[in-house]
Amino acid sequence: MSADLVDTSDPQKINWTNCIAFGLFHLGAVAALFMFSWHALAVALFLYWMCTGLGISMGYHRLHTHRSYQVPLALEYFFAVCGTLTLEGGPIFWVATHRIHHQKSDQPGDPHSPRDGGWWAHMGWLLVGESKHSDAPQMSRYAPDLAKDRFYVWLDYYHWVPMIVLGVLLFALGGVSFVLWGVCLRVVVGLHTTWLVNSATHMWGTRRFATRDDSRNNWLIALMTSGEGWHNNHHAHPTSARHGLAWYEFDLSWIQIKILMFLGIAKSVRVAKINSAMAEREAA
C-alpha cells in the first residue's frame, strides 16, 4: 500500500488487526497437519482453485483490476466473493492497491517493492501502519469503477462475512478438520503464493521485456498461482488476459478464460499482440 492507503511513517506502528489475523490463520494451518484426511485435502484443493484461482487471478486481478475481459455481472460478483475468501481484503482495497503498484512499480510509492526489502515486499507491508481500505472516498481515486457499485462497496466493507459463512458451512459438512484445511491451511498457502508474486517475481526469474521495473517471469510461481508468475509478461502488457505468452508458459487462468470465450460467456477479451521474435527475446 502506498502512503495514500497506509500510514507507514512510524515503522514501529504495528497493524495489530492484520498481525493477529495472520497469526491465528498460520496457527490453524499448523494444526491442520495433525488432522489430515483425504476428504479435507480435497476440499482444500478445490477451494484453493476457486478462491485463489478464480477469485484472485481471474477475478480481482485480470477482471476487476485490469478489465482484461468482460463477463455477466453475476459472474463478476461471484469472482469477487471468491476473492474475499482469501483473506486479502475486499475488491476495492485489492484493486486500488494493485493499480498503485502498476503506476509506481519498483519506484517510491510502490506498496510492495523488493527494493524496500524482500520481507517487506512479501508481507511486511501488511504488518505495519493503519489500514484505510474502508475509506470509500479515498479508494474511489484508484478504483472509481468499483466504488460506484453498491455491491462492491458493501463487499469491501464486509469482506469478512463470506469467510465466516464458509467456515460455518465447512464445520457442518466435515467438522474441525474441514475448517482447518478448507479455511486456515488453504488461506495461508494462498496468501504466500500471492505474496510471492509481489516479492519473488520482482527478484528471481527471466526478463523477456525491458520494462521500467524489476518484474520477472518465474515458472514455479506461475504453476502455483494459475499463471500469475509470468509477471514480466504482465507488466509489459498489463491489460492482456493472457499472461503466459509463449506456448510453453502454462497459464491456467488463460485456459479458463478461453473456455468462457468458447461458451460465449467471456467477451471483449484483450490479448497482447506480439510476434514470435519478440516473444522469444530476452531483455538484456
CA 258 – CA 278 distance, rounded (Å): 23
Q: What is the pLDDT of residue 5?
A: 44
Separation CA 196–CA 225 (nearest Å): 9
Q: What is the DSSP letter of 4?
A: T
The verdict on residue 68 lying in a domain is yes
Q: Tell me whether residue 26 is in a domain.
A: yes
For residue 5, being part of any structural domain is answered with: no
Residue 198 and residue 121 in contact, taking contact as beta carbons nearer than 8 Å: yes
Q: Please give the pLDDT value at position 6.
A: 42
Q: What is the pTM of this model?
A: 0.91
If one counts every other C-beta atom within 10 angstroms of the C-beta of residue 9, the result is 9
Q: Decide if 242 is inside a domain.
A: no
Q: What is the pLDDT of residue 282?
A: 46
* Residue 18, all three cell numbers: 492484520
How many domains does the chain divide into? 1
* Residues near 56 by beta carbon (within 8 Å), at least 6 away in sequence: 83, 86, 88, 190, 194, 225, 228
Q: Does residue 228 lie in a domain region?
A: no
Judge whether 1 lies within some domain.
Answer: no
In a domain, 279, yes or no: no
Q: Which domain holds residue 151?
A: 16-205
Neighbours of 171 (CB within 10 A): 15
Q: What is residue 235's predicted lDDT score, i.e. its pLDDT?
A: 98
Q: What stretches of the chain adopt beta strand conformation (E)?
A: none
Distance of alpha carbon 237 from the chain centroid: 17
**Does residue 120 sit within a domain?**
yes
Q: Which single residue is written with the C-alpha cell 516479492?
A: 199
Tell me which residues of the chain have a pLDDT lower than 50. 1-9, 132-134, 276-277, 279-280, 282-284
DSSP state letter for 267: B
